[in-house]
Chain A
């Protein structure tokens, strides 16, 4: 079974740029994987940041951007802020109606 991979944790200083990635244990991520990115803080439901690789959800600041980098999907936060400290999840479409989430990345801003 294909596994969706994410960095378990990442640390960034305020104002810096950070790129989180979302890959496959076997194969490459493409736009046909329809990658989406979600932000979740404790006790809250996830919030959609990016869908269809690079479309920003309504109300999401433009410091969040999505792309394909090499063989992975990527979420870039330009100028990280303290309230960006959250868990970030990606999801990929595997075909045949099946979606698989990555294990999530815990982002620390300090």
Chain B
């Protein structure tokens, strides 16, 4: 069964940092690009970042550029999102999503709350 499981969410103060992880199973992780997509409470979906299968390319939404870093470890079938300088507007459920062009698979999400 194809599965994506996010972890690492929680409560963090403004200006703080958090690292999200996504564990993949049931498919050949190293052959797919991966994405992070977030959803603020009661709001729509927002694409955050993507990384190519071999980490050669990564891309970011303007809203997170310079603060967030996407990475992956194909040996561990894992995707990461390092989030620094967090703001209240970063509060959201963060989803790990397998390559959207090839039929995105979504994880259950992990909640990040930025509040003092």
Whether a CB of chain B sits under 8 angstroms from the CB of A27 is no
Residues of chain A within 8 A of B47, CB atoms compared: 91, 98-101
Q: Which residue of A lies closest to B106 (CB)?
A: A45
* B95-A48 in contact (CB<8A): no
Q: Residue A57 at the B interface, CB < 8 A?
A: yes
Query: Which residues on A sit within 8 Å (CB–CB) of B109?
Result: 45
Binary CB contact string for chain A from 86 to 110 against chain B (1 if under 8 A, 0 otherwise): 0001010100111111111000000
Name the distance in Å between A34's Cβ and chain B's nearest Cβ: 5
A48 touches B101 (CB 8 A): no
Question: Contact at B101–A45, with CB atoms within 8 Å?
Answer: no
B27 CB to nearest chain A CB (Å): 12
Contact A101 B104 (CB under 8 A): no
Closest to A102 in B: B44
Task: Give the A interface residue count (CB, 8 A).
Answer: 25
Cross-chain contact A45 with B44 (CB below 8 angstroms): no
Chain A residue at minimal CB-CB distance from B35: A99
How many residue pairs, one in A and one in B, have C-beta atoms under 8 Å apart? 58
Given A38-B45, A45-B95, A89-B45, the answer on whether A99 and B108 have CB atoms closer than 8 Å is no
Q: Interface code B52-73, partner A: CB below 8 Å = 1, 0 otherwise?
A: 0000011101100000000000
CB–CB A98/B59 < 8 A: yes
Contact A96 B59 (CB under 8 A): yes
Establish whether residues B101 and A51, one from each chain, have CB atoms under 8 Å apart when the complex forms.
yes
Q: Is A67 an interface residue (CB 8 A)?
A: no
Of residues 1 to 44 in A, which have CB atoms within 8 Å of B's CB atoms? 1, 34, 36, 38
Asked whether A71 is an interface residue with its Cβ less than 8 Å from the other chain, the reply is: no
Q: Does A63 contact B (CB under 8 A)?
A: no
Interface residues in chain B, defined as those with a beta carbon under 8 Å from any beta carbon in chain A? 35, 37, 44-47, 50, 57-59, 61-62, 95, 100-109
